[in-house]
Amino acid sequence: MSVQHADQFQRARAEAHQQPPRRRRHALLPVIGAAAAALVLAGCGGSALAPDTQSMPAATAAATRPADRGLPPWPAPADPYPGIKAAGLSIGPMGMAEHYHAHLDVFVDGKQTPVAADIGIDPQTEEMTALHTHDTRGVIHIEAHKKGDTYTLGQLFQQWSVALTPDQIGALKTGGGKALAAYVNGKKVDGDPAAIVLKPHMQIALAHGTPDPSFTPSAGYQFEPGE
């Protein structure tokens, strides 16, 4: 507290003690409040308090950034809309211009992990984007509103809220003897797996873990009649 504010406080206190008891408490409150405000402003460089993200604890700051969704299995997010927005898609009635399917397998250390059901679907309204899943078979549905529209594997993962880069899937990263490989129709492909463009009856496999020369992903998938 500055000398000026201390003097004001002492004068107000003396005056308050000369007043009837009922008025003393109320007479002190404005000055106490002003003195407290002066201390707060002095500590803040003369400005009002505001959140400072640069001084947040690491755990709190990390919570404000998009999550990689941890280790598998990865369920569909409870709130689908942030992922849908990140994928550049919108939710609404089913598209009718084109309708086809692709299939995705995900392997972690040689074991298959499920692809979540209801990716890209609002659980309340059951409306969906043009790119979505209905069950855990790994069947990806493409129901486009415009003929010729293209969709990527990365857009599916964005709606799933699971990280997918050339060296990461979810919280599983490469390095330390671990690798991430992508296969299309049984053949290994290089580059960013998120950039894979989905095509009718395409079979995609992602495999994370210690490379196994004997690992041979399926070159195709037995879709159900009509898929």
134, 87 Cβ separation under 8 angstroms: no
Mean pLDDT over 62-75 rounds to: 69
In this prediction the pTM is 0.71
Q: Which sign, positive or negative, has the C-alpha torsion 67, 163, 71, 202?
A: positive
How far is the CA of 134 from the CAs of 87, 103, 123, 183, 209, in angstroms?
18, 12, 11, 23, 27
When pLDDT is cut at 50, 70 and 90, the band that residue 94 belongs to is confident
When pLDDT is cut at 50, 70 and 90, the band that residue 95 belongs to is confident
Report the amino acid identity of residue 158.
Q
